[in-house]
Structure formats: C-alpha cells, structure tokens
Amino acid sequence: MKNSHLFREVGLSIYADESTISRAAEEAKSMFQSPTANPLHLAFCMPGILHPEKSPSQMNHTDLIETFAINSIGPMLVFKHFSPFLPGKKNTPFQSQTDSSLLPTQAIWLNMSARVGSISDNNLGGWYSYRASKAAVNSFTKSFDLYLQTRTGGNAMAISYHPGTVKTDLSKEYWAGVPKEKLFSPEFAVAKMWEVIKGLDLSSRGKCFDWKADVILP
C-alpha cells in the first residue's frame, strides 16, 4: 500500500477472492466515512479480459468462468463493498471549491462495458463470453443505478461506458484491423472518458455511453 496526502493505493484481487475486496474497502473506510471525510465522488470499475471465441466449439468452462468472474462478478462485488461510501440522501450536493466544471455535481459510479455488450447492436456474433459478460455489466449497472436512486436520491448515479478500441494488451491482437483514427491511445481514451463524465446529469443515469457521449442501446 502506498500513501501520500493525495494518493493511496490499496491492493485487491477482483478474481475469485472477495475477501481481498472487503479488506480493501475496510482500509478505505477512513477516507470516506470519518466525521471529517467527504463521501466517495468518483468510482471507476474497469477490469477486463477477452477470450475471443469465433465459434461455439471454442468455448470451454474454464475460460467462461474466468471471463464472467473478472468482467461481471468482480464489478458486482466491488460495488457491494464500496458503494456505501457514496453520498446518501442527507449529504449536501457536491460543489467544487475551485472550478465547478472540474467534477459533476452527482457522484458517479462507472462500470467498464463495451459496445459488443449491446444485444440490439450485435450483427456479427462471436466473442460469446465477452459479449455476454459485458451485456451483464449493462444489466447490473442499470440495477445498481435504481438502487442508488433509492438510497441517494439525486446525489449518486451509475453508468456503464464503452471507451472505443484502446491500445492496451486487451486489444493488442486486433490493432491491425482497426482504422488508425479509431485506435486510441490510453491518454486520449481517458481524456474522452472525462469529457463524457463532465457532461452527465440525472437524465444520464443507468445508461451506457460511448466515448462520443452517445447512448448505446441495450
């Protein structure tokens, strides 16, 4: 664990070990639930693994379990343990002390999804486990948001997000087939994600957005 007055890193395993998530949340409690602390305002849950099956014959139990454990079950458990740190109904809506454009008024919980998680947009098939795991992300993000609406009123919301194709190890095998203008550096992807976040309001809650701030239908 690393500490400074601005940065604190707490390790956890999102795969197959919920106890590490609960311990990380326990360590983080003092940061968000002490009498002098502010509630959690931004949460990004962004795990990802891809087994790119091209036909049903390529699916196997081990890879299916791993994909859902990391892409779907892990984010659900992170929400379970960390969502109590989000503001409640009685919290004063957030106001930046320096620049009101820096952070949205509502606390934001963002789950990493993908366009291929859209059932209505599935025109190619394939990638069975990845598609299904990201469809699950969109489904439970909506349910999480309904929960937050009840618990926090307008003080917190959940969305899912598609960043486009980013130059990371997850997509490395497919870079050659992506047009240059649609293959994003991590820095560009983060900047675009931040633009989307700053444009959110309560009408955005529970939806899936892409890097252009367009809504991706389920």
- DSSP state string for 100-156: TTSS-SSEEEEEE--GGG-STT--S---HHHHHHHHHHHHHHHHHHHHHHHHHTTSE
- Domain assignment present for residue 23? The answer is yes
Question: Are the beta carbons of 180 and 165 closer than 8 angstroms?
Answer: no
Q: Say if 4 falls within a structural domain.
A: no
pLDDT of residue 1: 44
Contacts of 138 (CB under 8 A, 6+ apart): 113, 117, 118, 160, 208, 216, 218
Whether residue 57 lies inside any domain: the answer is: yes
Q: Which two tokens stand for residue 54?
A: 């091209």
Structure tokens at 62: 């081990």
**What CATH number is given to the structural domain containing 38?**
3.40.50.720
Separation between Cα atoms, residue 41 and residue 107, nearest integer Å? 4
Contact status, residue 79 vs residue 109, Cβ threshold 8 Å? yes
Q: What is the pLDDT of residue 187?
A: 96
Q: Which of 14, 162, 33 is nearest to 76 (CA)?
A: 14
Collect the ranges in the chain with pLDDT lower than 50. Answer: 1, 97
Flag whether 90 is in a domain: yes
Give helix 18-32 / helix 74-82 axis angle, nearest 10°.
Answer: 30
The answer to whether residue 53 is domain-embedded is yes
Residue 12, by phi and psi: left (phi above 0), alpha (psi -120 to 50) or beta? beta
- Domain with 118 in it: 18-216
d(CA 145, CA 174) in angstroms, rounded, equals: 33
Instruction: Give the total number of structural domains in the chain.
Output: 1
- Asked whether residue 41 is domain-assigned, the answer is yes
- Between the alpha carbon of residue 192 and those of residues 164, 178, 199, 217, the distances in Å are 10, 18, 11, 20
24 inside domain: yes
Q: Give domain status of residue 152, yes or no.
A: yes
pLDDT for the residue 67: 97
CB 174 within 8 A of CB 135: no
Tell me how far the alpha carbon of residue 50 is from its chain's centroid. Answer: 16
**Confidence at residue 96, expressed as pLDDT on a 0 to 100 scale:** 52
